[in-house]
Amino acid sequence: MKKTIVTILAILFLTIIVTSAGAIYYDEALTQVWQSRKDLQKAFPGDPNQNQKFIDWAKKYGWKEDARLIAYSPFYDVFSSIIKSEVSTLNNKIETLQNQIN
């Protein structure tokens, strides 16, 4: 039972992280990272959302350097689908537990 609770809490924690990362629009995250770093502003002048070289940087390096750019990771779709599956499983377990309590 303790192992199940720990597993549920771990899944919930990961879900919150991925969900909150996904809640930030790509462009908003990109802008926030660019605004927070003078080196990026110098290397990629102008509108960060229109600068393809900066977007390419985010896809190649940025997601590794700043968690706000997780959506630019080549693995984002895989992580997202795994989390969605785990959330569904977690919701089913919660519903089962609620039914047992009632």
41-99 pLDDT, tens digit each: 999 999 999 999 999 999 999 999 999 998 899 888 887 778 777 888 888 888 888 88
**What is the per-residue pLDDT across 2-36, written as a single tens digit (0 to 9) for each?**
666 656 555 556 556 555 544 444 479 999 999 99
Determine the pLDDT at residue 20: 52
HSE-CB for 35 with a 13 A CA cutoff: 9
What's the CA gap between 102 and 98, in Å, rounded? 6
Instruction: Please report, for the chain, the start and end positions of each structural domain, with discontinuous segments joined by +.
Output: 2-101
Determine the pLDDT at residue 60: 96
